[in-house]
Amino acid sequence: MTEKLVIIGNGMAPGRMLEHLFEAEPGRYAVTIFNAEPRVNYDRIMLSPVLSGEKSYEEIVIHGDGWYIDNGITLYKGHRIVAIDRRAKTVTSDHGVTEPYDRLVIATGSVPFVIPVPGHDLPGVLSYRDLDDVNAMMLAAQSRETAVVIGGGLLGLEAAAGLKARGMDVTVLHLMPTLMERQLDPAAGYLLQKAVEERGIKVITKAETRAILGEDKVSGVELADGTVVPATLVVMAIGIRPNAALAKDAGLEVNRGIVVDEGMATSDPAILALGECAEVGGRVYGLVAPLYEMARVAAARLAGDAKAGFVHAETPTKLKVTGIDLYSLGDFADGDDREEIVLRDATAGIYKRLVLKDNRLIGTVLFGETGDGAWFNDLTRKKVDISDMRDTLIFGQAFQGGAPMDPLAAVAALPDDAEICGCNGVCKSRIVGAITSKGLTSLDDVRAHTKASASCGTCTGLVEQLMSLTLGDAYNPAAVQPMCGCTELGHDDVRRLIKAKKLKSIPAVMQELEWKTSCGCAKCRPALNYYLVADWPDEYADDYQSRFVNERVHANIQKDGTYSVVPRMWGGVTSSRELRAIADVVDRFQIPTVKVTGGQRIDMLGIRKEDLPAVWADLGKAGFVSGHAYAKGLRTVKTCVGSDWCRFGTQDSTGLGIRIEKFMWGSWTPAKVKMAVSGCPRNCAEATCKDVGVVCVDSGYEIHFAGAAGLDIKGTEVLGQVKTEDEALEHIVALTQMYREQARYLERIYKWAKRIGYDEIRRQIMEDADKRKAFYDRFVFSQKFAQVDPWSERVSGKDKHEFRPMAAVGFKEAAE
Annotated binding residues for [4Fe-4S] cluster, written as ranges, equal 640, 646, 680, 684
CB contact set of 787 (below 8 Å; sequence gap of 6+) = 541, 542, 804, 805, 807, 808
Nearest-CA neighbor of 96 among 80, 110, 118, 114?
80
Query: 677 phi and psi, to 5 degrees?
Result: -130, 120
Return the beta strands (E) in 36-116 as ranges.
41-42, 61-63, 74-77, 81-85, 90-93, 98-100, 103-106, 110-112
The total number of residues shown for the chain amounts to 816
CA distance 581 to 642: 27
CB contact set of 662 (below 8 Å; sequence gap of 6+) = 570, 802
CB contact set of 504 (below 8 Å; sequence gap of 6+) = 532, 536, 539, 540
Return the beta strands (E) in 26-86 as ranges.
29-35, 41-42, 61-63, 74-77, 81-85
- In this structure, the number of other CB atoms found within 10 A of the CB of residue 346 comes to 8
CA distance 244 to 254: 7
Q: Which residues pair with 692 in a beta bridge?
A: 675, 705
- Residue pair 257/277 in contact (Cβ under 8 Å)? The answer is yes
Nearest-CA neighbor of 125 among 29, 195, 221?
221
Q: Which residues pair with 133 in a beta bridge?
A: none
Return the beta strands (E) in 265-313 as ranges.
271-273, 278-280, 283-284
Sheet architecture: strand order including 209-214 = 209-214, 218-223, 228-230
CA distance 724 to 720: 13
Q: Which residues of 203-214 are buried (b: 16+ CB within 10 A; e: fewer)?
A: bebebebbbbbb
Nearest-Å Rg of the Cα atoms of the chain is 30
Q: Which residues of 370-395 are buried (b: 16+ CB within 10 A; e: fewer)?
A: bbbbbbbbbbbbeeeebeebeebbbe
- Beta strands 563-565 and 602-607 are antiparallel
Helices (H), 546-626: 549-553, 576-588, 612-621
Query: 212 phi and psi, to 5 degrees?
Result: -105, 125
Nearest-CA neighbor of 56 among 37, 66, 42?
42
For residue 230, give the 3-state DSSP assignment: strand
Report CA torsion sign: 701, 707, 709, 713.
negative
Binding residues: 640, 646, 680, 684
Binding residues for siroheme: 684
- Residue pair 373/414 in contact (Cβ under 8 Å)? The answer is no
Query: Exposure of 702 by Cβ count < 10 A (0-12 exposed, 13-18 middle, 19+ buried)?
Result: buried
CA distance 318 to 45: 11
CA distance 45 to 49: 9
CA–CA–CA angle 24, 29, 33 (5° rounding): 110
Nearest-CA neighbor of 697 among 672, 715, 722, 717?
722
